[in-house]
Structure 1
Amino acid sequence: MAIRMPRTIQARQILKRSHSNGSSNAASTEIPKGYFAVYVGEQEKKRYVVSVSLLSEPTFQELLHQAEEQYGYSHPMGGLTIPCSEDVFTDLASRFGAF
């Protein structure tokens, strides 16, 4: 029997691992405190920097769960990759003022 962690804790683990696996890319150092980068898109991935307040939203937590199922902790872009269309993500993030 597996013990399931709350999704917020899972999100923090994903972010921590993504950051530690990232390159020394200058773009990764341009993220302001209280924000994090995600890659979104179905074919071509686009980078967004969003507020950490988004992590507490149940809809975003569901996207994180989908990312975990699809990618595990090995994200192809070296950062947190969300498996949804840009339109869906930008709508969600703008509703919660995450940009």
Structure 2
Amino acid sequence: MGFHLPGVVPTKKFLLRSLSNSKASSSAVNVPKGHLAVYVGESKKKRFVIPVSFISHSLFQELLVQAENEYGYDHPMGGLTIPCREDMFVDLISNLNASI
């Protein structure tokens, strides 16, 4: 028995494609179960490890759409790259953590 969340299936496909395109498998390197490594920043990218539950949030979904528009499925860091300023991402993650 299951339920369907609109928008989550395309996001899951997006993440699976971007992770399968990675040149080096970062999924096993310091990423706990239930989390995802993302790279954030405009010029210098910083690695963040976030809970997978964040991907279903509408604000994070907007970032994924921006990432798809900017990078397609070929991410320069070999993992999921989010095209936004680091300080904005930290604010978003703080808000998402507070809403849990």
* TM tier, smaller: 0.7 to 0.9
Paired position in structure 1 for 2:68: 68
| CA displacement, residues 55-86 of structure 1 (integer Å, 9 cap, x when unaligned) | 11111101101111111111111111000000
Paired position in structure 1 for 2:11: 11
Unaligned regions of 5+ residues in structure 1, if any? 1-5
What's the secondary structure of 2:50's corresponding residue? strand
Amino acid at match of 1:95: N
Give the total of aligned pairs: 92
Amino acid at match of 1:84: C
Q: Could you tell me the TM-score, scaled by structure 1's length?
A: 0.81
Unaligned regions of 5+ residues in structure 2, if any? 1-5
Paired position in structure 2 for 1:52: 52
1:7 and 1:65 in contact (8 A); partners too: no
Q: Choose between structure 1 and 2: higher helix proportion.
A: 1
What's the secondary structure of 1:97's corresponding residue? helix
**Root mean square deviation of aligned Cα:** 1.8
Identity %: 55
> Which stretch of structure 1 is more off in the superposition, 38-47 or 89-98?
89-98
